[in-house]
């Protein structure tokens, strides 16, 4: 079933790189009017060069009020993809400073709450049957070394999904999460370079024997934003090649 977003308007956060960029491009190719948000203008410029007519929004999502001011100016949207997030794998749990934890929560969790509040209120006022998709992680479901603030932010994201789904359902607005494992993105590449994660380790735990590509995460996100999932809400969609489903691949 092809995705048809003609006449739809969707905001994608974290659209400069990785999964967010892939979602923005795929939506545009499916006929959608795309608002692409990132804190880095250069990555948005390259996105527009690759896919013209995407509308840029340069914003620092850790700035609650500044972000709200920019999003309040947007028209009523049909969808929101909260993809933006930063890594947080620099401290053991017993040494993780409060400032570092707050930094991760501001960027990965509170930003999604903020964007969802603004976009959902506009949907409610206009009577739009919209969809919000949050990019979470299996790190919110299972513990990983050096991962405390990131894991907390993603566990929180899944509960944000459930809470918004519960309260927005009567307005016919759906809210879901996609929870990837390790994905071949610039963020993951930086963690690999720092020795914070291993593709080989994840692949050895996965029945599929490899980590997902960006495109394999984009597909489920588009499905949840689309009319193909009109009765799906409040769900966590794990896309990890089966990593969480087993203790080991070989005995």
Annotated catalytic residue 150: yes
User: What are φ and ψ of residue 79, in 5° steps?
Assistant: -155, 160
- Which structure tokens are listed for 29? 């190719």
| Residue among 8, 17, 33, 150 flagged as catalytic | 150
CA distance 2 to 89: 38
Report whether 133 contacts 72 (CB < 8 A): no
Three-state secondary structure call for residue 135: strand
Handedness of CA 120, 17, 209, 1 (dihedral sign): positive
CA distance 145 to 172: 39
Annotated catalytic residue 91: no
| Residue among 8, 28, 154, 223 flagged as catalytic | 154
The dihedral over CA atoms of 25, 14, 12, 240, expressed in degrees to the nearest 10, equals 80
CA R_g for the chain: 17
Report whether 178 contacts 133 (CB < 8 A): yes
Active-site residue list: 150, 154
């Amino acid at each position: 079933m092809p995705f048809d977003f003609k006449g739809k308007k969707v905001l994608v956060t974290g659209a400069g790189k990785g999964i967010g960029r892939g979602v923005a491009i795929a939506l545009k190719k499916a006929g959608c009017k795309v608002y692409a948000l990132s804190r880095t203008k250069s990555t948005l410029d390259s996105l527009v060069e690759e896919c013209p007519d995407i509308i840029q929004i340069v914003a620092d999502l850790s700035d609650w009020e500044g972000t709200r001011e920019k999003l309040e100016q947007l028209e009523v949207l049909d969808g929101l993809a909260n993809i933006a997030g930063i890594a947080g794998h620099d401290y053991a749990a017993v040494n993780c400073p409060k400032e570092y934890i707050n930094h991760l929560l501001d960027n990965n969790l509170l930003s999604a709450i903020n964007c969802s509040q603004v976009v959902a209120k506009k949907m409610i006022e206009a009577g739009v049957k919209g969809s919000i998709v949050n990019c979470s992680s299996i790190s919110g479901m299972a513990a990983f070394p050096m991962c405390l603030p990131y894991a907390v932010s993603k566990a929180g994201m899944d509960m944000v999904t459930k809470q918004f789904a519960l309260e927005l359902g009567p307005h016919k607005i759906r809210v879901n999460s996609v929870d990837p494992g390790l994905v071949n993105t610039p963020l993951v590449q930086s963690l690999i370079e720092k020795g914070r994660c291993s593709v080989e380790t994840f692949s050895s735990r996965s029945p599929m024997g490899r980590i997902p590509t960006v495109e394999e995460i984009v597909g489920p996100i588009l499905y949840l934003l689309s009319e193909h999932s009109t009765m799906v809400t409040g769900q966590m969609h794990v896309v990890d090649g089966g990593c969480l489903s087993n203790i080991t691949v070989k005995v």
